[in-house]
């Protein structure tokens, strides 16, 4: 392989690793344990490090008042921490 081809392959590989690395960061999920509560029209989890608004289709009134583990992606919206819920499960001690 000549020098130009080696450079092209090296650049392509570096770009591929960069794209894969950035994509992995964008979808990083976190887990939180806390009590689910209703605050007006929104459902939140009161976790050890703060209160988070929960968004997602898995949320129902049956979770309110229960200790749960929520997994999802966290974002800041309107000065609130919001979790886009991927999964929610009741925690039994």
The domain containing residue 65 runs over which residues?
Answer: 30-90
Query: Cα 27–70–53 angle (5° rounding)?
Result: 85
Could you report the per-residue pLDDT of 32-68, keeping only the tens digit for each? 999 999 988 899 999 999 999 999 877 777 889 999 9
Q: Is residue 11 included in any domain, yes or no?
A: no
Collect all residues with Cβ–Cβ distance below 8 Å to 79 and sequence separation of at least 6.
none
The reply to whether the predicted model has a pTM over 0.75 is no
Which of 93 and 92 is assigned the larger pLDDT?
Answer: 92
Q: Is residue 15 included in any domain, yes or no?
A: no
Q: Is residue 22 included in any domain, yes or no?
A: no
pLDDT beyond 60 at 69: yes
């Amino acid at each position: 392989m000549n020098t130009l081809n080696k450079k092209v392959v090296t650049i392509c590989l570096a770009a591929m690793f960069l794209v894969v690395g950035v994509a992995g960061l964008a979808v990083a999920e976190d887990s939180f344990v806390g009590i689910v509560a209703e605050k007006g029209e929104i459902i939140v989890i009161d976790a050890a490090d703060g209160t988070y608004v929960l968004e997602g289709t898995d949320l129902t009134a049956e979770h309110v008042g229960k200790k749960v583990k929520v997994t999802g992606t966290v974002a800041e919206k309107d000065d609130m921490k919001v979790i886009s819920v991927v999964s929610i499960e009741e925690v039994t001690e």
